[in-house]
Amino acid sequence: MTRIVVLTGAGISAESGVPTFRGPDGLWEGHRIEDVATPDAYEADPGTVLAFYDARRRALASVAPNAAHRALARLEDAIGPELLVVTQNVDDLHERAGTGNLVHMHGELRRALCGWCGARPAWDGDLIDRPPCPECGERMLRPDVVWFGEMPYDLDRIERAVVACDVFASIGTSGAVYPAAAYAALAASFGARTVELNLEPSDALVPFDDARAGPATELVPAWVEEMLAVCT
């Protein structure tokens, strides 16, 4: 039995056409990250922030999972809950590819978060018009995405899986944001083998046992084939 934790970031969705956060111009879809992804930005200018995420949510309709998302779903088909995928992405491409054992640690575009009652309803429409919360009726819905300075979701579950895994793979993430950036080092300190699959080597806290550079749609299917040979 090989327990695997896969951490994914924006790089796994890049070839599906979802822009990464830290592109060469340092902007996210033309915005500085701090202008659209902090509680202060939302308080100062909720309209801009809501419109920004409404556009991101609508854009999901025109993208599709790629070979890397599908390969991870194949791995889960083969080994079941021994694989946990932890994604920092707020898109829904892992679930559309068929991954079920999935944690969205930075939230999901396709959910809203009620600032009044804390409900997290599934949400596919816009939020800019301040629709009522389906639970409490208050008009305080915001995107259910974790902004800088806020607590990511499911940290206990993630950390339990990270310290117990045999293989930890980091895919398409720059390693710039904590706590996700610390998970590879944590897994290694508990004896896991660590692998990085990224377009370029990231600024890792501790070197990966195996660091492979290239596009996710090539590297991930090849790595999954290797895992299937070992695990099944």
Question: By CB under 6 A, which span of 15-23, 39-47, 55-63, 72-80 interacts with ligand APR?
Answer: 15-23
69: annotated active-site residue: no
14 contacts ligand APR (rule: CB under 6 A): yes
What's the distance, Cα to Cα, between the start and end of the chain in Å?
9
Question: By CB under 6 A, which span of 44-52, 72-80, 154-162, 196-204 interacts with ligand APR?
Answer: 196-204
Encoding tokens for residue 203? 């600024």
Question: 37 or 102, CB closer to ligand APR?
Answer: 37
DSSP annotation of 125 reads S
| Contact between residue 89 and residue 106 where contact means Cβ atoms under 8 Å apart | yes
187 contacts ligand APR (rule: CB under 6 A): no
205 contacts ligand APR (rule: CB under 6 A): no
Q: State which of residues 4, 6, 7, 10 lies at the interface with ligand APR (CB under 6 A).
A: 10
20 contacts ligand APR (rule: CB under 6 A): yes
Encoding tokens for residue 191? 């004896």
Question: 161 or 177, CB closer to ligand APR?
Answer: 177
**Alpha carbon distance 21, 80 (integer Å):** 31
65 contacts ligand APR (rule: CB under 6 A): no
| Contact between residue 169 and residue 195 where contact means Cβ atoms under 8 Å apart | yes
**Alpha carbon distance 77, 1 (integer Å):** 15
Go through 188-219 and write b for each residue having 16 or more CB atoms within 10 A of its CB, e for each that does not: beeebbbbbbbbeebebeeebeebbeebbbeb
Q: State which of residues 4, 6, 7, 11 lies at the interface with ligand APR (CB under 6 A).
A: 11
Closest approach of Cβ 25 to ligand APR, in Å?
12
Kindly list the residues in this chain that would bind ligand APR in the complex (CB under 6 A): 9-11, 14-15, 20-22, 33, 37, 88, 106, 172-174, 176-177, 198-200, 202, 215-216
